[in-house]
């Protein structure tokens, strides 16, 4: 990955922190990033619970995403969804 990222003619950078999901295959990669687009990195539920992955390991991220997605599908018709973006910590 580092060799790919060093190539000035590369089409895109490979994230060395995503080696686990690259190794898991295309389906895992697409699932992880598709769910991330829906639930983000963390979530506060309607009951005030804070959800986030227990660690950056793929299994923990996917477990969080499964739980958070379930929360979204349980929202009522009158519930409101608010999404926020915060700058990364330095």
CA distance 65 to 69: 6
Of 24, 17, 70, nearest to 46 by C-alpha is 70
Q: Confirm whether 87 is domain-assigned.
A: no
Residue 86 has a pLDDT of 79
Residue 39 has a pLDDT of 94
Rg (CA), the chain: 16
Q: Confirm whether 33 is domain-assigned.
A: yes
Q: Confirm whether 83 is domain-assigned.
A: no
Q: Confirm whether 67 is domain-assigned.
A: yes
- Please determine, for residue 76, whether its predicted confidence score (pLDDT) is greater than 80: yes
- The number of distinct structural domains making up the chain is 1
Q: Confirm whether 86 is domain-assigned.
A: no
Residue 84 has a pLDDT of 84
Q: Confirm whether 34 is domain-assigned.
A: yes
Domain that holds residue 57: 2-73
Q: Confirm whether 14 is domain-assigned.
A: yes
- Rounded to an integer, the average pLDDT of 20-43 is 94
Confidence of residue 90 (pLDDT cuts 50, 70, 90): low
């Amino acid at each position: 990955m580092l060799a790919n990222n060093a190539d000035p003619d590369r089409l895109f950078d490979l994230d060395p922190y995503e080696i686990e999901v690259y190794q898991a295959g295309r389906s895992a990669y697409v699932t992880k990033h598709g769910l991330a687009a829906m639930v983000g990195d963390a979530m506060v539920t309607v009951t005030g619970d804070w959800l986030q992955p227990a660690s950056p390991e793929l299994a923990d991220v996917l477990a969080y995403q499964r739980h958070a997605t379930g929360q979204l599908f349980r929202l009522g018709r009158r519930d409101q969804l608010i999404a926020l973006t915060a700058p990364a910590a330095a």
